[in-house]
Structure 1
């Protein structure tokens, strides 16, 4: 059955299905934070209209049809009965207004990314292939200002203006990643958590780190950026597993 036959009256259905799969897999990997974290996906040309998860719904239960359709330029968004979480609106709405290149935005408090964000030095040195993925492609925010209501969201959005910077290590908070699609962004989120785990575990040994040279780190990062379709294939495999299990994510 085609996507149109499944949901003939709901726009952006394939985007919704991809988002729902990302929520479900993030929960499976225990990278969620109860009902506190949020993903969003721009669906118009300037990025100001976007899909986002409903307020206080657990990632494990989110279906494609549950996603909110929001307009970052609508000042009355928080007044409706299906209003999003105010902190999600503050952070994601600000980024979609200010950063049209941020088509998809994912923010979590996953364990190892948050440990990294809690260190006095939250930089991520290139000590393996995964950590090298982010070489010169992230920013560290050292100015945590509390919950991400609109003022804090605007401040964070101002740090994501460079299209090359697709990951923000949010000091004392967690991680935020952006990308061109759900597949691109989820892939980056997944590998950032893996990279942070490798680094944290390496620090725990107490042994000196073998850090890659700047030249090799940049070469590795660029090769991974150019690797064909790895992100799409990753998400497609996750959807195939969910489908085989009879999950209702795509409903």
Structure 2
């Protein structure tokens, strides 16, 4: 196997692992939502899931290669992609060179916070990690209109997390592992907020200085870029669902 082919296979295995882990942690939504990863090279090709497969069925070889125009370059059998998945993921991959992986979810907690006017609050050190670092994009209907890509990219800016109003969550990373950890933290932050506010009880917020300091610590410590959590997650997957890498 050539170096290029070997590198692509590693990306395929990591993305398939992320699909399986999204299902493992209950962050999937039947056959909806999508994860993508840019392939090596200058063509901005990326991998996307075959529409109609559950996330716990995804394997490295089942992932589809798509070009920036939405053409399926390589696919197993007659697999197709989700049109909304292409719109969202192509927008980010084509405009953020640092976005090697993009993850989009429709979790109950994520969709609930996406419907709250105040957005994500810095209620806990997990959510404080995102203080000043969450973008917001207003809902425009099903994301099948390609002209929405310009507004998605504009709203995302240089941030690695986005709340899609009345829709769900988006997280990106320089690797599949980074994107997964960003999404995991974002999801946990939404769950914390939903739990803390569901009874209508009074909540307290840290000072803005503390929230900003915690966010800076998160960046300095590089938690989301630490390879150890992703390595541990893949070891778990190797034990419970090793066929992802086929």
User: Which residue of the partner structure matches residue 45 of structure 2?
Assistant: 49
User: Which residue of the partner structure matches residue 29 of structure 1?
Assistant: 25
State the Cα distance separating 1:76 from its structure 2 match.
4.1
What SS class does the counterpart of residue 136 from structure 1 fall into?
coil
Distance 1:10 1:35, change over 3 A: farther
Cα RMSD (Å) of the superposition?
A: 2.4
* Equivalent in 229, 240, 247 of residue 235 of structure 2: 240
TM alignment of 1:61-100, pairs within 5 A:
61-72=57-68, 74=69, 76-77=71-72, 81-100=78-97
State the Cα distance separating 1:108 from its structure 2 match.
0.5
* Equivalent in 192, 199, 202 of residue 198 of structure 1: 192
State the Cα distance separating 1:175 from its structure 2 match.
0.6
State the Cα distance separating 1:118 from its structure 2 match.
1.6
Cα distance in 1, alignment partners of residues 245 and 160 from structure 2:
27
Cα distance in 2, alignment partners of residues 219 and 46 from structure 1:
38
Is the CA contact 1:17–1:250 (under 8 Å) kept in the aligned structure 2?
A: yes
* Equivalent in 101, 104, 107 of residue 101 of structure 2: 104
State the Cα distance separating 1:158 from its structure 2 match.
2.3
User: Which residue of the partner structure matches residue 209 of structure 2?
Assistant: 215
- Are 1:139 and 2:130 matched, yes or no? no
Cα distance in 1, alignment partners of residues 79 and 154 from structure 2:
28
Cα distance in 2, alignment partners of residues 217 and 146 from structure 1:
33
Is the CA contact 1:47–1:97 (under 8 Å) kept in the aligned structure 2?
A: no
State the Cα distance separating 1:25 from its structure 2 match.
1.0
Is the CA contact 1:105–1:176 (under 8 Å) kept in the aligned structure 2?
A: yes
User: Taking structure 1 as the reference length, what is the TM-score of the superposition?
Assistant: 0.87
Distance 1:75 1:209, change over 3 A: closer
What SS class does the counterpart of residue 116 from structure 1 fall into?
helix
State the Cα distance separating 1:151 from its structure 2 match.
2.6
Distance 1:40 1:75, change over 3 A: closer
Aligned length: 241
Distance 1:246 1:37, change over 3 A: closer
User: Which residue of the partner structure matches residue 10 of structure 2?
Assistant: 14
- CA deviation vs aligned residue, 1:83-130 (integer Å, no higher than 9, x gap): 4211111111122122222221100001101110122x1421211111
Uncovered stretches (5+) of structure 1, i.e. residues with no partner: none
- Are 1:225 and 2:219 matched, yes or no? yes
Cα distance in 2, alignment partners of residues 174 and 221 from structure 1:
22
Is the CA contact 2:102–2:173 (under 8 Å) kept in the aligned structure 1?
A: yes
